[in-house]
C-alpha cells in the first residue's frame, strides 16, 4: 500500500510512521510527504529519510478545491492508496474525500467529539476534564468529524501541567497512529457508516 502523509508542522507523527516502517512493524510504502508550509520540520524529516516531498503554496491556490486538485495530481502520480493527515492545518475538500472514500485519516489529540479544533489539548486541560486522549478517524468534509477508527484514553494527573499533558498525549499518538495505519494496510477494518469494527 502506498501512503502519503500531509503535514504542516513538526512532523513527530510522521516520524513515528517512518520509524514503524523502518522497524517493519508497518508494511507500507511511504511514497510522498506533502505540506502547505515551506519550513515545516516534517519536510526535513521526510527528505532525511529519502522520501519525495511536495510543498504547495496556499497563496497560489486560494480556493481549497484548487489546492486539493493540485495535491491530487501528486497523489495520482505516486499511485497513493491512503492519505494520512498528521498535523495538517487545512480542511480537505470533496475533491479529495470523493476520490479517496474511507482512505483519508486524521489524528486528533482529544477524545472526539469533545474538544474539536486546533487547541484540543489546551482546551481539555483548561476545561478540567479528568480523562482525555487521542482519536484516529476517517476524514470527511466536516472538521474532526468522520467515523472513529481508534481511541486511547489517558487520565489527567493532579500534577500534570499543560506541557506534561502535551508530552503524554504526543507519546500516545505516536503509538496509536502507526497501529491504526497497520489495521488499514492489513484490511482489518469493517466500516458501516459511523461504525468501524476491527476484524
Q: Which residues are catalytic?
A: 108
Q: Which one, 89 or 185, has the nearer CB to ligand GRF?
A: 89
Q: Which one, 77 or 163, has the nearer CB to ligand GRF?
A: 163
Pairing type for strands 104-108 and 82-85 reads parallel
Backbone angles phi, psi at 2, to 5 degrees: -95, 130
Among residues 50, 47, 86, the alpha carbon closest in space to that of 176 is found at 86
Q: Which one, 48 or 73, has the nearer CB to ligand GRF?
A: 48
For residues 58 and 36, is the Cβ–Cβ distance under 8 A? yes
Pairing type for strands 189-192 and 148-155 reads unpaired
Reported as type and span, the H/E element at residue 99 is helix 94-99
For residues 3 and 12, is the Cβ–Cβ distance under 8 A? no
Minimum distance from CB of 86 to ligand GRF (Å)? 5
Minimum distance from CB of 192 to ligand GRF (Å)? 26
Q: Which one, 47 or 79, has the nearer CB to ligand GRF?
A: 47
Name the site residues for ligand GRF (rule: CB under 6 A).
Answer: 7, 9-13, 86-87, 107-109, 173
Q: Which residues contact 51 (CB under 8 A, 6 or more apart)?
A: 18, 30, 31, 32, 33
Which residue's C-beta sits nearest to ligand GRF?
A: 87
Nearest-angstrom CA–CA distance, 129 and 132: 7
Minimum distance from CB of 199 to ligand GRF (Å)? 26
Minimum distance from CB of 51 to ligand GRF (Å)? 15
Largest CA distance in the chain: 50
Amino acid at each position: 500500500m502506498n501512503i502519503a502523509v500531509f503535514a504542516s508542522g513538526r512532523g513527530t507523527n510522521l516520524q513515528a510512521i517512518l520509524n514503524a516502517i523502518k522497524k517493519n512493524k508497518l508494511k507500507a510504502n511511504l511514497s510522498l510527504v506533502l505540506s502547505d508550509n515551506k519550513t515545516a520540520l516534517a519536510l526535513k524529516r521526510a527528505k532525511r529519510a529519502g522520501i519525495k516531498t511536495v510543498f504547495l503554496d496556499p497563496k497560489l491556490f486560494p480556493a481549497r478545491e484548487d489546492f486539493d486538485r493540485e495535491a491530487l495530481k501528486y497523489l495520482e502520480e505516486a499511485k497513493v492508496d491512503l492519505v494520512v493527515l498528521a498535523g495538517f492545518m487545512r480542511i480537505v475538500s470533496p475533491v479529495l474525500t470523493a476520490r479517496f472514500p474511507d482512505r483519508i485519516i486524521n489524528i486528533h489529540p482529544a477524545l472526539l467529539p469533545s474538544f474539536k479544533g486546533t487547541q484540543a489539548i489546551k482546551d481539555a486541560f483548561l476545561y478540567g476534564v479528568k480523562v482525555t486522549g487521542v482519536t484516529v478517524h476517517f476524514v470527511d468534509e466536516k472538521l474532526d468529524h468522520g467515523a472513529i477508527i481508534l481511541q486511547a484514553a489517558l487520565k489527567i494527573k493532579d500534577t500534570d501541567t499543560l506541557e506534561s499533558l502535551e508530552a503524554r498525549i504526543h507519546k500516545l499518538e505516536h503509538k496509536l497512529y502507526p497501529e491504526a495505519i497497520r489495521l488499514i494496510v492489513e484490511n482489518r477494518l469493517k466500516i458501516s457508516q459511523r461504525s468501524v469494527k476491527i476484524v
